Structure 1
Amino acid sequence: MADQSTQPAGNPQAGIPARRSAIAMLDQIQDEGRLMAELIGSGMLDRLDAPDRARAQRLASDTLRGLERADRVLKKHLNKVPPLTVLNALRLGTVELCNGGAAHGVVNDLVQIIGRHKRYGHLKGLVNAVLRKVAATGPEQWAALRVPRLPKWLRNPLADAWGAEAMLAMEAAHFAGAPLDLSVKGDADAVAQAVNGKVLTTGSVRVTDAGQVSALAGFEAGDWWVQDAAAAIPARLLQAQSGTRVLDLCAAPGGKTLQLAATGADVTAVDISDSRLGRLRENLTRTGLFATVQAGDVLDLQGSWPAILLDAPCSATGTIRRHPDLPHAKDGSEFGGLIDLQARMIDHAWGLLEAGGRMVYCTCSLLPDEGEVQVIEALERHGDMSVDRDALAVPGIDAEWVTAEGGLRLRPDYWADIGGMDGFYIAVLRKER
């Protein structure tokens, strides 16, 4: 799980920038409730070169996934809890050491990082002593510890929804992390061969131990874009045709927009965040695809379209295997507001859909209130709405994923033997003529 690389010969401080940045991210995620994507988007890692940016993200993510285990390992070596920055340095070091990191490089770097800290430099001796003890006894203890659990504010509602056994399986998937999935503009088999990946039954290409994304074959040529296999299913279910006018709502960061554009559809992509749309514009340029991109509030949009994809704002609880910062940055207090917003967006989008048209509603959430319940209640509000079960009959879709009301429920523990998938809810909705 953890990054096990050591410093290149001749450069004894090569690991310091990435480790220092990872600690800084951990501090802000836990102390200020900021998400890693937000921190990266604000330029926190811009001063690092590409390999160190990737390494800092990987170190921070590995530490968050193993936080519970790290704290249990550290507990026997600490008389009292040190300041958060020092604690996060110890946690990061513990995760690295317990997953095969070279003690010399890990310990020396973290001692130097804390030693140079203006407020906590006097604690470098503590860091040195504790991590050397962890290096000696931690790996054996680590292996015997349970899979880290989600915080109760999230674990309880998910266990209520899916049961204790499924909850444990999802936590195991979160701890394992996620391989890299690619959506492909052209020949999936050719891309899979070029990147040493495999084509999944749903058409995505999966790469294990991918390393630096921008260094993979086909990146510069725009042959593919990064998108979890589960996240690629909603656009496939919309079955957009060349020339069809499609409205992609809440489009950023744009993976689904690219999929729709690749079919030749006439796509209008709308998102409230112009800054987040920047990544979509960059990927459209890189891949040579076209879509009309506009920043604005979905609820203010007017017009009519024969096909709509609504990827509504949600708790993102289905993405924890790729975004382990979420349970540590959030507390669930925003769930109620998101659920209300989703219902309003469904109603507004339904008013934009032409008679006889189809709309895909989806959320990257594991909470039924953001998925199954939203569709059940929407069906009650709109007499001209029906669920199109037949639209789910596409390659790679397991019949057991289909829900009682006719939607699709995906979970992180599905495909566990090949790396799992993000949690998603998807429903294809038809409007009567």
Structure 2
Amino acid sequence: MAADHSHRQKNKDGQSSPKQKGDDILWPRKVALSLLQSFWEEEKFLDSLFESHGDFLKLSSRDRNFVRMMVTTAVRRSGQIEDIMRRGFSDPKQKISPSIVRYLMHLGIAQIVFMNVPDHAAVNTTVELAVRSGAKRAKGFINAVLRRAVENGKKWTTEQDIPRLNTPSWLLSMWGKDYGKAYAVEIAQASLAEAALDFTVLDPLDKEDWAEKLGCTILPNGTLRRVENALIPDLQGYNEGAWWVQDASASFPVKLMGDVLNKSVADLCAAPGGKTMQLAAQGAKVYAVDRSATRMKRLDDNIARTGLQDNVITAVSDGALWKAPEQMDMVLLDAPCTATGTIRRNPDAAWLKKADDVQAMVKIQRDLMDHAANMLKSGGVLLYCTCSLQKAEGEGQVNDFLSRHDGFEVQAIQPNEVPELSQAITDEGYLRLLPFYWAAYGGLDGFFVARLMKK
């Protein structure tokens, strides 16, 4: 084997120090601790942290999977973990200082109660990590709390109000106003489930073959679903561009656009490109627009990998300012939103978003919709969608648009267009997908879709 380029830890002066005995076990947890601390203190989204954290990227694929699961679980179940931690205090008024002590205990409890990690390994490594992370004085306290979690943690979970503990109060309240208390609780509960991997196949005729190769089931809408986690680039067919990752919910908007062959379609806010690839694969002439050059690079990579670049023209531009080179047959607006429908796969969204973000998104969406309306031909279709569960960003946004634009009308979505999801069609003819729909298949992301035609 080649020489071991060991991971190096920082000492108190910020200098790298060689790995110490036991670091093969501790190092991934040390990385997890750093990621969790950055998440809570710097309020950075987990995907961004995973993509940019140097020590995380140097880990083996096995350790990366473990660290990702540990950090994601600690965030997803943070309310329950905090409650279990406090139940383990001998003094209910116990103060936690420094903050790293809380993060250590959250990671330890995540492993003990919610992951298949042996109790002794979770406790011992967390205590040792405390010593190595400048929290040596707290090691006895941490050890005592974690051992109480070993003894009682799983029992305590049966006494917890799980949806309330793991959902910010503003969000649960807003869902209650939008859907009623019972549905709000169901949404919160379903949002705690870890999302499966969903794929869209480049050639729909090949979906049975790829389902077998990837170990997937085929959902009613043709999406492939794999329950077992995996590193995406390692899966068969990735390099050949035979498929791309796309939640089942996110595949519906393009399906609801109907025949797009040889149609001019503006895909505003297009990156990372799942819907762009759907459109291009069906023969549309796609103008893919996104304001982020970084995200557009991902779209460029994706369309090159799938061989669809000849059908796509890209532009790095704000979708609300982009000047269309021609009047469009169709516009797909997957608008920026609070992304509260994706909490199953992005649990950080629940904690980094705030109530004020909803109205900020509504303003951005409004400007994008007004601009999209002007680039459509008569008889053209505007397909508006978001992955937010907030009705202000969905039903309310579209109703407001229709009140300003009497030249548009709703093209109601029909039950035969959304197999086994007729309950998701609203009275107005919109599609409102909730995370607990398709429960027999493992659920799906929350999503909103409206199909509007320019008269």
Amino acid at match of 1:93: G
Deviation string 1:197-233 (CA, Å, 9 cap, x unpaired) is 1000011111112233333232232221111110111
In 2, Cα distance between the equivalents of 1:240 and 1:87?
Answer: 54
Q: Tell me, what secondary structure is at the counterpart of 2:275? A: helix
Q: Which moved more, 1:421-430 or 1:125-134?
A: 125-134
Amino acid at match of 1:297: D
**Does 1:272 find its partner at 2:291?**
yes
Counting only pairs closer than 5 Å after superposition, residues 222-371 of structure 1 correspond to structure 2 as 222-290=241-309, 291-303=312-324, 304-371=327-394
Query: In 2 relative to 1, CA 390–188 (structure 1 residues): closer, same or farther, beyond 3 Å?
Result: same
In 1, Cα distance between the equivalents of 2:108 and 2:374?
Answer: 53
Q: Which runs of 5+ in 2 are unaligned?
A: 1-20
CA displacement at 1:382 relative to structure 2:
1.1
In 2, Cα distance between the equivalents of 1:317 and 1:287?
Answer: 29
**Percent pairwise identity:** 34
Query: In 2 relative to 1, CA 325–386 (structure 1 residues): closer, same or farther, beyond 3 Å?
Result: same
Query: In 2 relative to 1, CA 366–390 (structure 1 residues): closer, same or farther, beyond 3 Å?
Result: closer
Query: In 2 relative to 1, CA 316–50 (structure 1 residues): closer, same or farther, beyond 3 Å?
Result: same
**Does 1:96 find its partner at 2:115?**
no
Counting only pairs closer than 5 Å after superposition, residues 179-194 of structure 1 correspond to structure 2 as 179-186=196-203, 187-194=206-213
CA displacement at 1:127 relative to structure 2:
2.6
In 2, Cα distance between the equivalents of 1:371 and 1:211?
Answer: 33
Query: In 2 relative to 1, CA 188–309 (structure 1 residues): closer, same or farther, beyond 3 Å?
Result: same
In 1, Cα distance between the equivalents of 2:398 and 2:351?
Answer: 29
Deviation string 1:374-396 (CA, Å, 9 cap, x unpaired) is 11111111121011115664252
Query: In 2 relative to 1, CA 43–257 (structure 1 residues): closer, same or farther, beyond 3 Å?
Result: farther
CA contact (8 A) 1:245 1:267 kept: yes
CA displacement at 1:419 relative to structure 2:
1.3
Q: Tell me, what secondary structure is at the counterpart of 1:233? A: helix
Amino acid at match of 2:277: L
Q: What is the Cα-based RMSD across aligned positions, in Å? A: 2.0
CA contact (8 A) 1:379 1:385 kept: yes
Deviation string 1:100-149 (CA, Å, 9 cap, x unpaired) is 321232223222322222x4343333333322332233233234433242
In 2, Cα distance between the equivalents of 1:196 and 1:31?
Answer: 39
Amino acid at match of 1:379: L
CA displacement at 1:321 relative to structure 2:
1.1
Match of 1:49 in 2: 60
Amino acid at match of 2:100: T
Match of 2:130 in 1: 114
**Does 1:16 find its partner at 2:35?**
no
Deviation string 1:249-275 (CA, Å, 9 cap, x unpaired) is 001121111111211212111111111
Instruction: Identify which of structures 1 and 2 has the higher relative contact order when contacts are C-alpha pairs closer than 8 Å and 6+ apart.
Output: 1
Q: Tell me, what secondary structure is at the counterpart of 1:309? A: strand
In 1, Cα distance between the equivalents of 2:178 and 2:148?
Answer: 42
Q: Tell me, what secondary structure is at the counterpart of 1:248? A: strand
Amino acid at match of 1:411: L
Query: In 2 relative to 1, CA 115–390 (structure 1 residues): closer, same or farther, beyond 3 Å?
Result: closer
CA contact (8 A) 1:249 1:308 kept: yes
Amino acid at match of 2:411: D
CA contact (8 A) 2:286 2:313 kept: yes
Query: In 2 relative to 1, CA 296–68 (structure 1 residues): closer, same or farther, beyond 3 Å?
Result: same
CA displacement at 1:55 relative to structure 2:
2.5
**Does 1:87 find its partner at 2:102?**
yes
- Higher Cα Rg: structure 1 or 2? 2
In 2, Cα distance between the equivalents of 1:326 and 1:88?
Answer: 19
In 2, Cα distance between the equivalents of 1:252 and 1:368?
Answer: 24
In 2, Cα distance between the equivalents of 1:12 and 1:173?
Answer: 38
In 1, Cα distance between the equivalents of 2:96 and 2:440?
Answer: 38
Q: Tell me, what secondary structure is at the counterpart of 1:246? A: strand
In 2, Cα distance between the equivalents of 1:402 and 1:368?
Answer: 14
Q: Tell me, what secondary structure is at the counterpart of 2:448? A: strand
28, 31, 37: which one aligns with 2:47: 37
Q: Which runs of 5+ in 1 are unaligned?
A: 1-10
In 1, Cα distance between the equivalents of 2:251 and 2:73?
Answer: 25
How many aligned positions are there?
421
CA contact (8 A) 1:182 1:206 kept: yes
Relative to the length of structure 2, the TM-score reads 0.87
Deviation string 1:315-356 (CA, Å, 9 cap, x unpaired) is 111111111111222222222111011111101011011111
CA contact (8 A) 1:192 1:199 kept: yes
In 2, Cα distance between the equivalents of 1:276 and 1:263?
Answer: 23
Amino acid at match of 1:213: I
Relative to the length of structure 1, the TM-score reads 0.91
Amino acid at match of 2:107: L
